Amino acid sequence: MDLLPPKNSTKYFKGNLHGHSNHSDGALNPSSVVNEYKKLKYDFTCLSEHLWRGEKFANEIVLDVENLNENNFIVIPSAELHCKGKKYIKNELWHIVANGLPVDFKCASESERAPEMIQRAIEAGAFVTIAHPEWYTLTFDECVSVSHAHGIEIYNHSCHIEAARGFGTATADYLLQENKKILLTATDDSHFRMEDAGGGWVMVASDNLNEKSILNSLKLGQYYSSTGVDIIKFEMKDKIIKVVSSPAEHITLVGKGSKSLSTNGNNITEAIFDLNNFDTNWFRITIIDSFGRFAWSNPVWL
């Protein structure tokens, strides 16, 4: 069984799910942001502008990006949603990324809290993820309260290079230990005030490069996340897992509790893991190459 559609028979599209223009607090205008991602050989990007009121860093309107679409590059209307109630952050603002929002999606009210805001975005058709949990110290109680989101950022490039708080591993695994079926994303959170583009992305298996198809694949978990490593094959037969990747030094499988398996070496491109005596109801794959670049599979539930 293919856990990811094989690359020899499926189209994969490279995209950034979290980024900003001067519609909110980015340095470049929307068309310039699009040009930068086209130069980086992406197939799509998301201008997930801060959606909030009364702050210079935010805008009260979801950016209409329809005029930025081309035949071989699309922009998905998105926003970084804010509402009150978050601990350990200035102004108590939550940060939730929603890709595929209608442009008439409204700011949260002063009384709306994150669980309700996320549900409203899901009902509007968006792919919703918890942004940069390490950067603003998402507590375990908080992460459980928003675990109905589709996913969580396992990597946020801007937070990594600006604050060394870019990973979401502990939060993601806590939710998985609590049997929450969360997906994982790698993103840029680019603002272009520094070189923060092209550091984290998703590779989405999709029949077509259009918003509907990309969003559908994201919601189904038909993608992997990366900072530079490619997952070429990911399959399972009789609880035997096979992973094929670009050259790496470490291919690891982790599951329930502290359980893990790994293959380690120089320029390894394949790992096989036998889960027949591996007591877990879920697992996920992480791959690290000699340059410290990563790839992550989405969790698989057995």
Is 99 in contact with 114 (CB distance < 8 Å)? no
Model confidence pLDDT, tens digit, residues 51-94: 999 999 999 999 999 999 999 999 999 999 999 999 999 899 99
Average of per-residue pLDDT values in the chain: 98
Region 152-170: mean pLDDT is 98
Question: Which domains does the chain show, CATH number per domain?
Answer: 12-226 (3.20.20.140), 231-301 (2.60.40)
Query: How much is the pLDDT for 90?
Result: 87
Per-residue pLDDT band at 256 (split at 50, 70, 90): very high
Which helix (H) or strand (E) segment holds residue 264: the answer is strand 260-274
Is 140 in contact with 170 (CB distance < 8 Å)? no
Model confidence pLDDT, tens digit, residues 128-151: 999 999 999 999 999 999 999 999
Query: How much is the pLDDT for 8?
Result: 86
Region 269-287: mean pLDDT is 98
Which two tokens mark 137? 């110290």
Model confidence pLDDT, tens digit, residues 215-243: 999 999 999 999 999 999 999 999 999 99
Query: How much is the pLDDT for 98?
Result: 99
Q: Is the pLDDT of residue 35 over 90?
A: yes
Is 243 in contact with 268 (CB distance < 8 Å)? no
**Residue 13 and residue 255: Cα distance in Å, rounded?**
28
With a pLDDT cut of 90, the percent of the chain lying above it is 98
**Residue 76 and residue 104: Cα distance in Å, rounded?**
14
Per-residue pLDDT band at 167 (split at 50, 70, 90): very high
Q: Residue 152: beta bridge partners?
A: 130, 184
0.85 cut: is pTM over it? yes
3-class SS at 143? helix
